[in-house]
Amino acid sequence: MAGRSDDDKTVKANSNLPMLKKRILSDENIPQSAVKRLRDNGAASTRPKLATDIAGVWSCDGFYVGKTTRRHSDRIKEHFQAIRKAKRSFENIRLKISSSPPAKRSLENVRPKVTSATVVGVPTKATGRKPVPAVVPATVSKTALSVVVSKKRPGWDLKGQVADMQEKVSVYKGKMHYLTELNRSLQEELELVKSHLKNSKAEAFNAHQQISAKDLEVKTLLAVQQDLNTELQKSKTELLNVKLDRDNFFNVCNTQKEDLDGLRATKQNLSNLLELKEGQIQVTEANLSQAMHELEQLRIQVADLKAETARQADELCAQEMQRRKLHNIIQELKGNIRVFCRVRPLIGVEKEKYEQIEHISFQDDRSIILYKVEESHTGRERKEAVKYHFDFDCVFQPTATQEIIFEELSLLVQSALDGYHVCIFAYGQTGSGKTYTMEGPDIVTLDTMGMIPRAVGQIFKRVDELKNKGWKYSFTASFIEIYNETIRDLLVSKPEKNVEYEIKRVSQTSEELYVTNLKYKTVTSEEEVHRLLQIARTNRSVAKTAINDRSSRSHSVFQLKIVGRHEDRDLNASSVLSLVDLAGSERLDKSLSTGERLREAQAINTSLSTLGLVITSISNKESHIPFRNSKLTYLLQNSLGGNSKTLMFVNISPCEENFSESLNSLRFASKVNECVIGTAHANRR
Ligand code: ADP
Ligand code: MG
């Protein structure tokens, strides 16, 4: 604030200066001519020596009057010059001041130090000089000048004129004194201005330094600003991302809010449900306690019933054993070797060839008669029929279905489960229906299913029932082919070369046999057995194309090993159910057969005749039974005779052209049928 007031004062001083000059030149009524004169004479001016040169007198009204007018005008001139100079320097200073920062100084000092004493023109004691009025009092000067101007003295009044002139000189002297003072004051002021200028320069230098510092600062700040701009840009991007996140968050929030609403509704529902359930639980608990009570009662009853059941189980088991015994007696009564005869129907072209089967007749379901029409001995046209009568355990006419046939067979299957070895053969010439009887036709249906699948089906069905009686069973299946006395595994699609299949005893002490390298498959269901039969059938058909229907000249043997155990009573029952599709029994004309065919025929002959021989030997209770004469009888030795049951199907072709083969088959079967194999014993331990 102090600086500001100083400035104000400076401005005031600047503006006062011309006013002052004007007053000096005009207000004091100095005639312009006089002024001009003064200027013209000012060339030879010298600096006034105020103390020594001016030795005038003071007028009565206080104005100093010089000795000579000439000297006064010179001095005035000098003063004017000094004033001009001061003015110039003052202008310069002012210019400098205006171009430099405002000086902090007071221009009060520029003014002449005017005191009341000086104004009234009282001389100062110290200097001894007469005071110079700062401002010439207007009234006084006007009066003085008016005296000078108005007094028009006559030309002769030289004394008056001198007095006027003196008066004027006195006025000018006062003015000069004033101007001298003014000059001095201006000098002082100039000094002040100079010092002020010096200060200003110093200040300007400082300011420059500060500006440099500020520049540096500005640069630093610019760099900072740059950084901040980058930062700002980054922040903007981040803000954008944050906004996006926020939007997403809002969306999520909205979704979650909806979810929450849904959950709240669900919670409400669940709460309601819970309440309902709690109510229900209470009811249930009440019921439960009631039920617990009832349960206790029932437990007692159950204990009683268990005791009763155990007793009944004992009874049942005893009955089961009894049933098995009786069943076996029946089977024995029926004969341990049984023969069923089956005549197949005419098929395909046969139906056209033979309208009906004329050479076969059936008396009842146990006998069959074969007629042979022969030329009469007389040689005439008359023909005589030769009858061949055969009795079997069962004779099935062409109309007999697989189902009917199995009904008779099922009793034997039951024997197998009861622990007796069971062996079922199909004997007959090729095409007589052996495979059909044992397995069924190529495209098999539930109705046309053969004995093997039916037997398996019955076994698994019975096993389920026997489970309730405490029996547990396990089964192992195998399927082989015996061709030219060589065994082949029908369950192996690609037989490895040089694999030996040999029939061996399981152990020295056991009579149980097995075939080396043969695949014995554990089966747990009827379906599994069906799959195995399918594999065997496929493998046989492959061989059929390879070696000209080898199947008809080979035996196929399906064996199911049955092992049963009654844990509680420590009872075991094991047996083997064998179902054999024998090679065609037709006899080949040996004179026409050579090589492989001959060897085949011989092998078939040997094995079939050995089978017959073995059965008769068993029947005759001979000491030596030739089981080892063929692979077939060797493999089946445990299932033939002794404690086993044997069933032979003799399959007969309905075609008259097959008469002799049919007769041979029936004769062979009849021989077997005559055999009575001793009482069988179940394989029980
Ligand atoms: P084998 O096995 O004795 O050589 P198949 O079982 O192959 O004889 O039978 C020869 C043909 O006769 C087959 O086409 C078979 O389907 C058919 N066949 C056999 N027995 C019957 C029958 N009981 N009912 C209908 N067709 C039969
Ligand atoms: Mg066959």
Q: Tell me the pLDDT tens digit for each residue of 264-304.
A: 999 999 999 899 989 888 998 898 899 899 989 988 998 98
- For ligand 1, say whether the CB of 345 is within 6 Å of any of its atoms: yes
Q: What is the pLDDT of residues 29-71, one digit of tens each?
A: 445 554 454 455 544 444 444 443 444 444 444 444 444 445 5
**Of the listed ranges 12-26, 156-170, 226-240, 342-356, the one predicted with least confidence:** 12-26
Residue-wise pLDDT for 451-499, tens only, equals: 999 999 999 999 988 888 889 999 999 999 998 899 999 999 887 888 8
Nearest Cα residue to atom 20 of ligand 1: 433
Ligand 2 centroid–CA 560 distance in Å is 20
Please give the pLDDT value at position 79. Answer: 65
Q: Which residue has better confidence, 571 or 138? A: 571
pLDDT score for 453:
93
Q: Which ligand is nearest to the CA of 431?
A: 1
Helices (H), 335-401: 349-353
Cα(603)–Cα(631) distance, rounded to whole angstroms?
10
Burial class (CB in 10 A: 0-12, 13-18, 19+), 640: buried
Question: What is the CB neighbour count within 10 angstroms for residue 85?
Answer: 13
What is the mean pLDDT of the segment spanning 78-91? 73
Atom of ligand 1 nearest to the CA of 426: 3
For residues 262, 267, 273 and 276, what is the CA-based torsion angle, rounded to 10 degrees? -140
| Per-residue pLDDT at 572 exceeds 80 | yes
Atom number in ligand 1 closest to CA 438 = 6
The predicted pLDDT at position 118 comes to 40
| 401 pLDDT above the threshold of 90 | yes
Best residue among 341, 343, 344 to mutate for probing ligand 1's pocket (most ligand atoms within 8 Å of CB) is 344
Q: What's the confidence (pLDDT) of residue 664?
A: 93
Residue, of 596 and 208, whose pLDDT is higher: 208
Q: Greater confidence, 318 or 252?
A: 252
Q: Which atom of ligand 1 is nearest to the CA of 430?
A: 4
434 or 326, higher pLDDT: 434
Any atom of ligand 1 within 6 Å of the Cβ of 428: yes
Identify the pLDDT of residue 1: 41
How many other C-beta atoms are found inside a 10 Å radius of the C-beta of residue 321?
15
- To test ligand 1's pocket by mutation, which of 342, 436, 452 has the most ligand atoms within 8 angstroms of CB? 436
- Which of the listed ranges 165-179, 425-439, 591-605 does the model predict with the highest average pLDDT? 425-439
Instruction: State the average pLDDT for the chain.
Output: 79
Query: pLDDT at position 406, please?
Result: 95
- Cβ neighbours, 10 Å, residue 515: 20
Q: Is any atom of ligand 1 closer than 6 Å to the C-beta of 111?
A: no
Question: Residue 18: pLDDT band by 50, 70, 90 thresholds?
Answer: low
Q: What is the pLDDT of residue 137?
A: 47
Would you give the end-to-end CA distance of the chain in angstroms?
136
What's the CA gap between 342 and 434, in Å, rounded?
A: 9
Nearest listed ligand to the Cα of residue 440: 1
Closest-CA residue, ligand 1 atom 11, reads 431
Between the CA of 320 and the centroid of ligand 2 the distance, in Å, is: 38
Query: Would the pLDDT of 425 be above 90?
Result: yes
Length of the chain: 685
Which atom of ligand 1 is closest in space to residue 402's alpha carbon? 23
Name the band, by pLDDT with cuts 50, 70 and 90, for residue 424: very high
Residue with CA at minimum distance from ligand 1 atom 12? 433
- pLDDT tier at 134 (50, 70, 90 boundaries)? very low
Residues with beta carbon < 5 A to ion ligand 2? 434-435
Q: Work out the pLDDT band at 325, boundaries 50, 70, 90.
A: confident
| Higher-scoring residue by pLDDT: 678, 258 | 258
Q: Is the pLDDT assigned to residue 4 strictly greater than 70?
A: no
Q: Is 347 in the pocket of ligand 1 (CB under 6 A)?
A: yes
Residues 161 and 536: their CA atoms lie apart, in Å, by: 180
pLDDT tens digits, one per residue of 205-215: 888 888 888 88
656: which DSSP letter?
G
Q: What's phi and psi for 153, nearest 5 deg?
A: -85, 145
Task: Report pLDDT for 456.
Answer: 93
Sequential DSSP letters for 250-311: HHHHHHHHHHHHHHHHHHHHHHHHHHHHHHHHHHHHHHHHHHHHHHHHHHHHHHHHHHHHHH
Atom 9 in ligand 1: residue holding the nearest Cα = 433
- Characterize 551-571 residue by residue with b for buried, 16 or more Cβ atoms within 10 angstroms of its Cβ, and e for exposed: bbbbbbbbbbbbebbbeeeeb
Q: How many CB atoms lie within 10 A of CB 177?
A: 24
Q: Is the pLDDT of residue 135 over 50?
A: no
Report pLDDT for 120.
39
CA dihedral 453, 458, 461, 462 (to 10 degrees): -150
Are the beta carbons of 370 and 360 closer than 8 angstroms?
A: yes
Q: Percentage of residues in the chain with pLDDT exceeding 70?
A: 74
Q: Which ligand is nearest to the CA of 556?
A: 2
Residue nearest to atom 23 of ligand 1 (CA): 344
pLDDT band at 556 (very low <50, low <70, confident <90, very high): very high
* pLDDT average, residue stretch 243-258: 90
What does the buried/exposed string (b/e) look like for 496-514 if buried means 16 or more CB atoms within 10 Å of the residue's CB?
A: eeeeebebeeeeeeeeebe
pLDDT of 627 above 80? yes
pLDDT higher at 92 or 90: 92
